[in-house]
Amino acid sequence: MIHYPLQNRLPVDANGFYGPFGGTFVPENLIKNIKELDAEFRRHIADPEFRNEFDRLLHDYVGRPTPLYHSPFLSKQYGATIFLKREDLNHTGAHKINNAIGQALLAKRMGKKKIIAETGAGQHGVATATVAALLGLECEIYMGAEDIHRQRSNVMRMEMLGAKVISVECGNATLSNAVDAALAAWTDNPDNIFYLIGSAVGPHPYPEMVSRFQSVISHEIRLQLKEATGKECPDCVIACVGGGSNAAGAFFHFIDNPGVRLVTVEAGGLGMESGKTAASLSLGKPTVLHGSKTMVLTDFHDNPAEAYSISPGLDYPGIGPLMAYLAHTGRAEVVVVDDDNALKAAYTLARTEGIVPALESSHALAALGKLHFRKDDIVVGNLSGRGDKDMETYLSALPL
């Protein structure tokens, strides 16, 4: 069993700012609860008993460590040594469970009886419903009506797990509206509810908390690379970004090593000129969204705009403040991959390696073709999830 360090190695100040991004922009009556959450998080994450329980559940229940797989096909294709970090092999099929376990353990220790969460594609909803069942907590999931319609199988999974799925009808009835509804529910009843946010977004301390729970990914990459290659650090790490949690986890232990290239991959949707993208790092403006200041796609009135991507987990107009900061300072590179190239990368991986990636992760795979590597480069692509949920989209886009 691995003991994860979970230390804070993030460029965040005491007020939750990552350079110009982040902070705590919440209604007055939530301030007390946010402060309480911050204090409880710091107390428990330093507690060896909490840490042991987290380590043990990740090992026995989630199935960690996930493999670091050397891909012969991709290595040959792109002329470098390419590894895939197999977060798709986690229980429930994506990296989201790492964070859900951490926050649910915290909720339990804070004496909360009820967990609420937002979900877009349903992956975070399933992860939350799963840990709520495991730990005996009541669970409500806010989901846009449009997403409920598009992601039927995940809705059924949440119901099977005993969660109540609440349909959100306002706006375009997708993820962003679900976050608004969950924040409103928490604001109405902050003492009894724990809001379990699914990505490295939201008011401080959520982005830090989610990033630290997800840091297990890069901790394992270090151990596994050392074993496979003799070196702990790769030359390059690539991850797709929706809110930025799998990227935060995959980058975490390499952020302060400038020798490691960090590459974020955002969804270009139908193309950068189309007005139908989720490319908030490339096309966004600093704006307050869902409790923090970050890069946000905006409309003519500077209000948050609707995002679009074929991938339901990347279809969000904002991005977490850590990723906004890493891109702003040039520490992370930003690559944009559109729907078609993500689909092609998925077919290629399925047919050469026998792995069906999530549509989100396919964006990271497609980015391999847009980067230049030296022959002896060691590259890690974070395969954030598996593609079972995306089968209808994949098959309706065939033949390719």
Question: Can 231 be counted among the known catalytic residues?
Answer: no
Residue from 23, 203, 207, 242 touching ligand PLP (CB under 6 A): that is 242
Nearer CB in complex with ligand PLP: 346/378? 346
Question: Can 211 be counted among the known catalytic residues?
Answer: no
Question: Can 118 be counted among the known catalytic residues?
Answer: yes
Nearer CB in complex with ligand PLP: 115/201? 201
Residue from 240, 297, 365, 378 touching ligand PLP (CB under 6 A): that is 240
User: Interface residues for ligand PLP in 105-164 (CB under 6 A)?
Assistant: 123
Catalytic residue among 87, 118, 140, 266: 118
When asked if residue 202 is in the footprint of ligand PLP (CB under 6 A), the reply is no
Residue from 80, 234, 384, 394 touching ligand PLP (CB under 6 A): that is 384
Nearer CB in complex with ligand PLP: 267/378? 267
**What's the 3-state SS for the chain?**
CCCCCCCCCCCCCCCCEECCEECCCCCHHHHHHHHHHHHHHHHHHCCHHHHHHHHHHHHHHHCCCCCEEECHHHHHHHCCEEEEEEHHHCCCCECHHHHHHHHHHHHHHCCCCEEEEEECCCHHHHHHHHHHHHHCCEEEEEEEHHHHHHCHHHHHHHHHCCCEEEEECCCCCCHHHHHHHHHHHHHHCCCCEEECCCCCCCCCCHHHHHHHHHCHHHHHHHHHHHHHHCCCCCCEEEEECCCCHHHHHHHHHHCCCCCCEEEEEEEEECCCCCCCCCCHHHHCEEEEECCEEEEECECCCCCECCCCCCCCCCCCCCCCHHHHHHHHCCCEEEEEEEHHHHHHHHHHHHHHHCCCECHHHHHHHHHHHHCCCCCCCEEEEEECEECHHHHHHHHHHCCC
Residue from 65, 207, 234, 243 touching ligand PLP (CB under 6 A): that is 243
Shortest distance, position 230 Cβ to ligand PLP, whole Å: 29
Nearer CB in complex with ligand PLP: 81/264? 264
When asked if residue 96 is in the footprint of ligand PLP (CB under 6 A), the reply is yes
Residues that bind ligand PLP (CB under 6 A): 94, 96, 123, 199, 240-247, 313-314, 358, 360-361, 384-385
List residues with catalytic annotation: 96, 118, 384
